[in-house]
Every structure is written in structure tokens, then in C-alpha cells.
Structure 1
């Protein structure tokens, strides 16, 4: 379920979709679903979250790991000053340029970093889909810290560091999200089966404590539940759809991401949990 369908607007996330995803040439805002595989293959992807520069140009707020931009040497904070020789003043210019170029083609970018300018030439890739973008960006990286979580039930860690030595399932959910409700029994089952071996399951919801408490009780959530009403932790993890679950190993590295409710992948996730639990403590 798309977070944009929530009763609360998420302006920053709409901007993220409209810049990071629209670099494929078509907007993904509101409740729009991912395009078909054929449509996605025709959309070009650069892999950068954009923002207007303070005095001209376009800021690369975030460069997705393993994206065309990252492979070309771009990093967070780069100022893009021109694309194919055309000065950039607005993110929409680059979005249009990428859409026009298409997958497999090169966009010549001039960037400024540390007061020096350089040229990069990323080869645009077919748009991989938002779920795969999240996997590319997060799998293999250190889990971001937990921010401003309020305990709803169970023992909620104050930081990701407090979970070091445990395998962690971090599940982002909300009361209004029907697939999230379907996921809860499976999370409770994994908690019951593997908690004694070192698995920690933490459900993070955008609901306030009162609403979350009622839902956690109604769904018999046996694992820790926290309220992320300000959505600071959701933002840190780049969550744009619910449910989204991160598998984190004992060293604090994200090893897998599951977006949506997909029972066909549960056996794969459980096998991964067993393998990670068998690894030695750091």
C-alpha cells in the first residue's frame, strides 16, 4: 500500500518520488502504482534525489547506491551545473533531459564539488521499480539509527547499536494498511520461533501511541512495537510504501528488504534468518 494513500500528506516523500523516480520520465506521486515491466524498461533512470541549488544549479541530495549516477562517481551533495551543455537551474530540466535520452544512453553532466568542477557521463539504466531501488540503496549498507521512537509495547531499543549482536526484523507498518495487518501474524510467529536464538522483531508504525496500542493488542503482536509519529525513522530508512521490512544482521548491516505483503517470499526470509542467526557474534 502506497504511503501517499495515508490520511496524512507526505510532501517530502512526494518530492522524493517526483525527482528520484520521475528521473525515469514519468511521475510517481499520490497513489499511482508501479508501471508494467514493459513500460519500466522504456523509462530511463539516473538514481538521484534532486533539489534546487541555493544559487542556481541542482543539488544531488542523495545518490542511490549502485545507480548509474553512483557508478559514474557522483556523491551526495554534488551540485549539478549543466546537462549536455545546457545550464541547469531547476530539477525539472534534468528530469526532462533524462526522459528524452532514454535507457542505455549517456547524459553528460558537469558537477561542482568542493569548489571544483568535473564532468561525469552516467549511462542511464532502465527504471528498476521502486522496490528494487530501495534494495539497491540499502542492502549491504549499515542500518540507519532509530530516531524519536516512542515505545508502544515490549522493549524498544533506543538505538540500532543497542541491537548489535542480534538479528533484527524492522517492520514498518500502519493501522490503516491492510497488508500490514496480514503480515503481523507471520512476524509474531518468527518472534516466537527465533527470539531465544537472538532474533529481535521491532514493528515501527506511523500511528500515535494510542492508536498503535489498540491495534497491537487487536492483532496480538507479540513483538516490540514503537510509534514513529514524526516519521523520522521511516525517512531515515527511505520507506515509501507499507509494509516495508528490513532484515539486519548481527553487525548492523541490512541484508534484505521486503516491500509489501508477499507470502511467496516468507520461506526465503526465514531461511535467511536461520543463516544469519547461525553467524558468530561480532
Structure 2
């Protein structure tokens, strides 16, 4: 049974990022939810990243964004277009209502930091940390530029993990040629992992997170936990529990298609 699924569509706040890719650069660096103000669309600011142009310009929680580039906000695509046509260092004009005041702020686009979990409260949207040299099996199968990457945080003693392994192996065997990479990540001792591999060989790379850096960084508290990354290494979805093969295949193919 699938216990938890988190993705950008299910999170109540959206990132003020670039239009063509939810996790691309540059960005404004705030989260918001859609509301109505004086019969028009407005974006109520939920949070502001401390390394963003919004923070520097003085945007704060509960501000209402009502205009962009001198035009009344009527559709979220106006924000996306303004950002997508810009680059880091460029200034975007943002009209904000704060209480009974209307402010005309100049927000400088910035490069998007890899870790935005302090803004979203989730690993989603952050860029996965680089792997070390601790691939204990199939490290030579790493892809240089995968179109989608699925990370499986698992343990040899975990029943649902064992149920998930053949599902992932099947999806990998079908779609590795299409740009899918799967990496199994465990924090157990090498003797235990190699003994398990001897009885349950995996076709995809396996990584030993001996220091548990990845587990702590992304708050992994249950196994199996799976993370789906886009072609740039940004986390798009996170879920725990043993998924069906049909579900895994559907999700990874969506990401692969986006990369084409």
C-alpha cells in the first residue's frame, strides 16, 4: 500500500519559479497561494527565502501580489513569463498590497539555491546532494545525464522494501534505455548488503550511505522511501510504502517525457 505521496500538485503553496520548469533558475524566491483581492487574482505570500530577491526587496508573509511588470495580475502565467524571460540580476516590478498600502517593489531575480527545504518544509524542490564514491554494486551503470532518477531508500530487513525491489528492477530494465536511472540507498554495513545482493541481485546501482548524510538531510524516517528527480536533479516527488509497478512506471515516464 502506498502510505504517503507528496508532489508539487498536492502542496498547497507553489514556488514563484520559472515557467518552463518548476525547479529551474532564476527565481523570485517565495511561496504563495492564490486568493482574490477586490475581485481580482492575487497571490498571498506564505514564505520568503532569505537568499532571494523577494527577501532583499522587503517582501514579507501575508503581502498580496496584485501586479507584475506594471500590469494588473489576472493569471499566474504573467509571473511565470516575467521570470522565464529574465536572468539572474534582472529586476522585476512587483505590485504588492500590504494592509491598506500599495507598494511598488523592485525584485531582483537571483540564482536558485540547491536547498530550499527551509522555505517549502519539504525535500521537494531541492536539488539532490552529490553522491560520494560508496557505490558497492553496479556503480559502472551510472548514467551521465539521466532524464529521470528514482532513489530508493531501503533496508534488507524491511518487508515492503523487499517487495519493492522487483518492481523497481522491472521498471529499470524496461526504461533505462529511455534515460531512467534508479539508485538503491541503504545505510547498513557492507557485509550485510553484499550478502543480500548475493541472493537478490539488482540490475541498477546500489549506494551505501554509511554516514547517513542523505538520510538526515532529507528526513528519511521510514523505508522504503522513494524520491523522483527530474533531469536536473531536483526532487519532484517523495513517497513511502511499496508502490505498484504501474504507478512507478507512470510517474517516471511523465518525468522522462518532460525532459524531451
- The two structures have a TM-score, normalised by structure 1, of 0.48
| Structure 2: gaps of 5 or more residues | 5-29, 34-43, 63-119
Tell me the SS of whatever aligns to 2:185: strand
What residue is the counterpart of 1:144 in the other structure?
Answer: 128
1:261 partnered with 2:213: no
Deviates more, 1:207-216 or 1:147-156: 147-156
Q: Find out whether 1:236 has 2:217 as its counterpart.
A: yes
The size of the alignment, in residue pairs, is 163
Equivalent in 152, 175, 184 of residue 203 of structure 1: 184
Q: How big is each residue's C-alpha offset from its partner over 1:222-271, in whole Å with a ceiling of 9 and x where there is no partner? A: 111010111012222221111101111112222221211133xx423311
What is aligned with 1:272? 251
Question: What CA RMSD, in Å, does the superposition of the two structures yield over aligned residues?
Answer: 3.6
* Aligned residue in 2 for 1:177: 158
Listed as ranges, the gaps of 5+ residues in structure 1 are 1-32, 35-64, 78-112, 122-134
Higher helix share: 1
Shift of 1:149: 5.0
| 1:73 match: secondary structure | strand
Give the C-alpha shift of residue 67 in structure 1: 10
Q: Kindly indicate whether structure 1 or structure 2 has the higher relative contact order, using CA contacts under 8 Å at least 6 residues apart.
A: 2
Residue number in structure 1 paired with 2:99: none
Deviation at 1:220, TM superposition (A): 2.3
Aligned residues of 1:149 and 1:228 also touching (Cα < 8 A): no
Map Cα deviations across residues 68-115 of structure 1 (whole Å, 9 max, x no partner): 9x95436579xxxxxxxxxxxxxxxxxxxxxxxxxxxxxxxxxxx99x
Q: Deviations along 1:185-234, whole A, 9 cap, x unmatched? A: 11111111111111111001011222111112322211110101110122
Query: Within 5 A, what are the aligned runs for 1:93-242?
Result: 137-139=122-124, 141-148=125-132, 150-155=134-139, 163-242=144-223
* Max Rg structure: 2
Normalising by structure 2, we get a TM-score of: 0.52
Task: Give the secondary structure class of the aligned counterpart of 1:221.
Answer: coil
Identify the structure with the greater strand proportion.
2
